[in-house]
Amino acid sequence: MSHWIIAPIILPALLAPFIVLAARYHIGIQRVFSVAGVLALIAIAGALAWQVSDGSVIYYRLSDWAAPFGIVVVGDRLSTMMVLLTSLLALFVLLYAIGSGWDDRGRHFHALFQFQLMGILGAFLTGDLFNLFVFFEVLLIASYGLMIHAGGNARLRAGVQYVLFNLIGSTLFLFALGSLYAETGTLNMADLAQRVTEIPAEETVGIRVAAVLLLLVFAIKAALVPLHFWLPSSYAEAPAPVAALFAIMTKVGAYAIIRVYTMIFPPDLEVTSGLHDLWLLPAALVSLAIGMVGVLAAKKMDRLVAYSIVGSMGMVMVAISLFSPEGIAAALYYIVHSTLAGAVLFLISDLVRTGRGNVDLTSQPPMMGTYLTAAMFFAGAIAMAGLPPLSGFLGKLLVLDASFDSTLVVWVWAVVLTSSLISIMGFARAGSVVFWKAHSLPTMEEPVEVASRPSMLAYAATGGLFALLTLHTVFAGQVHGYTTTMAKQLFAPDAYMSVVLETPGKLSKPKTEEEK
Amino acid sequence: MELLVASAIGVMTAGGVYLVLRLRTFPVILGISLLTYAVNVFLFASGRLTVGAPPILRDDITAYADPLPQALVLTAIVISFGMTAVVVMIGLGAFLGSDDDHVDEQPEPETTEGET
């Protein structure tokens, strides 16, 4: 039993109250502790990822209770990679928030940020479905605070929609968990995986309902059309660093779908046959199309980026819903890319907002720091639209390559390629209106007062995310090789289940097991 | 008893869904509260309905109530209570700021011009 695996949850959970209690009036101390905490998280996450990279599964039993009865925290290749990705993203987002002064525009930014990290990392590491619900709520309640950070009417109104939508999602999650428990009598993922296969064929009505409800909940989190309506306005109105961190939140939904539907309801299980190819794949294709059309139709840059997030989630879900090892490997490669690219674009739209006071897609005189911002937007747009040489291109290629076994291969190719073209047009239009036409306009007499040059730290943080994207592209072979082994591990969950269920703990052999 | 509990859950869920689909914040929040009540009872019933049975192992007793759903419900109640408080505060803030409690996005310029 490794104690380190629970550290990514404990560390932010302790740091956040410390920041609230000890440093609530000193933004400098808050910044130091927050950055130090995230740096420590990166170190821990890197070590954990290194430890499981040989295929082993590490786990931690809370209070040493044996698995189906107590809660377990489990780390395998997939969850440690997501933890590492989250902590790396968090570092640069935090640096941007400090550099741009966003964290000083309202109170408790750093404490909420740490709670948010605790929820996200917990959701990646837990081995228990009800615990997953609790961590979802932790990350949501922190995100409500972050979403309305710095106030403002538009932000509060978008916040109400965001909170209401997610409350309904949480209620659905509870309904799903209730029906799962009623059918199987357990909520431990590994235990569920064993018990679902033992349900006789004529009594599968309840478990089918539970599987579909659970998929709906995760689809809300992953912003899959037609459950994506909460995303565009809330991400567009949220403070930019927060929106950039939210780029990982949709991936929590994608992660949960991968985890639950490879282990508990694997593709070859008869109970849920047809769920993936009949329902998930068309929905994913539609969200890809709608997201990219939204990119073309957006009138503001932050909304454009939010729609590109919907589109890239559609892309991820296309790859996931193939439910083959190749598809999942491609999806995992694309998840890393889409998180980084989405975060970069949100930060760039905030650079534009800082430089000229608004993010409307209209021609205005040149903004402050226009050259660097324009260059970054160019690179970010290339990454998100999936043009070579950046990793978006490689990711899309992997997804297209993996789709050959699907019956809908023609549709996948058609939608992916057409939507890529539409998104290129959308980004090109935005870039030329905001950056190029600016120079053909007469300069205004008095400069806009709200505009100022973005700070160097803000540029450096955005550049840091670009560096990660570049690394993701340069080492694409190694990363894809690793995600392939990850997908193989996901499709052979026996090792995971035996580690979780068969390691003895307290109460490992109860006398009356079938009392229910 | 099964019929009573099942129909109570059904009626509360139906009422909750109806209220959630309203346009203004207050009925929507009420609807969400109804939905959380429904789901709490549902979770409670997911451990099978038993009357007067102890949840903790004791000698010479053969019928037990399942203790786990009770723990789950407790967690769910606390979380939904806190969440409702949060959404009331944010909704109140949005209402006081813009003098309008619609949940959807309204076109803003027309209303402000007409009123002032």
ipTM at complex level: 0.90
Beta bridge partners of A126: A73
Task: Give the pLDDT of residue A68.
Answer: 82
Name A62's Cβ contacts closer than 8 Å, sequence gap at least 6: A6, A70, A71, A72, A73
Task: From chain B, pick out residues whose CB is under 8 angstroms from the CB of A156.
Answer: 90, 93-94, 97-98
A160, A175, A515 member nearest B25 (Cβ): A160
CA angle at residue A53 from A52 to A54, to 5 degrees?
90
* pLDDT (mean) for A60-71: 85
In angstroms, the separation between the Cα of residue B31 and the nearest Cα of chain A is: 10
Put simply, the answer to whether A515 touches B94 (Cβ < 8 Å) is no
pLDDT (tens digit per residue) in A450-496? 677 888 899 999 999 999 999 999 999 999 999 999 999 999 988 88
B29, B35, B48 member nearest A171 (Cβ): B35
A513 and chain B in contact, CB less than 8 A: no
List the structure tokens of B96: 């006081």
A403 and chain B in contact, CB less than 8 A: no
Task: From chain A, pick out residues whose CB is under 8 angstroms from the CB of B46.
Answer: 178-179, 181-182
The neighbour count for residue A398, using CB atoms within 10 Å, is 25
- Residue A369, judged by CB atoms within 10 A of its CB (0-12, 13-18, 19+), counts as buried
| CA distances (Å), origin A74, targets A262, A313, A435, A447, A486 | 16, 25, 47, 55, 15
Name A305's Cβ contacts closer than 8 Å, sequence gap at least 6: A235, A236, A243, A342, A345, A346, A349
In chain B, the domains with their CATH numbers are 2-54+63-115 (1.10.287)
A153 and chain B in contact, CB less than 8 A: yes
Put simply, the answer to whether B82 touches A141 (Cβ < 8 Å) is yes
Task: Give the pLDDT of residue B59.
Answer: 80
* pLDDT (mean) for A203-207: 86
Q: How many helical (H) and strand (E) elements, i.e. helices and strands, does chain B have?
A: 4, 0
Name A139's Cβ contacts closer than 8 Å, sequence gap at least 6: A115, A116, A118, A119, A120, A122, A123, A249, A252
pLDDT (tens digit per residue) in A294-347? 999 999 999 999 999 999 999 999 999 988 999 999 999 999 999 999 999 999
User: In this structure, what are the phi and psi dihedrals at residue A438, rounded to the nearest 5 degrees?
Assistant: -55, -35
Put simply, the answer to whether B39 touches A174 (Cβ < 8 Å) is yes
The mean-pLDDT minimum among A74-78, A107-111, A499-503 falls in A499-503
pLDDT (tens digit per residue) in B9-68? 999 999 999 999 998 889 999 999 999 999 999 998 888 888 888 888 788 888 888 888
CA A204 to mean position of chain CA atoms: 32
Between these two residues, A136 and A361, which has the higher pLDDT value?
A136
> Do residues A354 and A454 lie in contact, with contact meaning Cβ atoms separated by under 8 Å?
yes
Question: Domain segments of chain A: what residues?
Answer: 4-502
pLDDT (tens digit per residue) in A366-406? 777 788 899 999 999 999 998 888 899 999 999 999 998 88
Whole-structure pTM value: 0.92
* pLDDT (mean) for A444-454: 65
B39, B66, B94 member nearest A178 (Cβ): B39
Task: Give the pLDDT of residue A64.
Answer: 84
List the structure tokens of B100: 């309008």
A134, A144, A156 member nearest B97 (Cβ): A156
Mean pLDDT of chain A: 89
HSE-up of residue A486 (Cα within 13 Å, Cβ side): 27
Put simply, the answer to whether A141 touches B20 (Cβ < 8 Å) is no
Give rounded-to-5 percent helix, strand, coil for chain A. Answer: 75, 5, 25
B42, B46, B87 member nearest A167 (Cβ): B87
Task: Give the pLDDT of residue A143.
Answer: 93
Longest dimension (CA), chain A: 85
Task: From chain B, pick out residues whose CB is under 8 angstroms from the CB of A170.
Answer: 79-80, 83
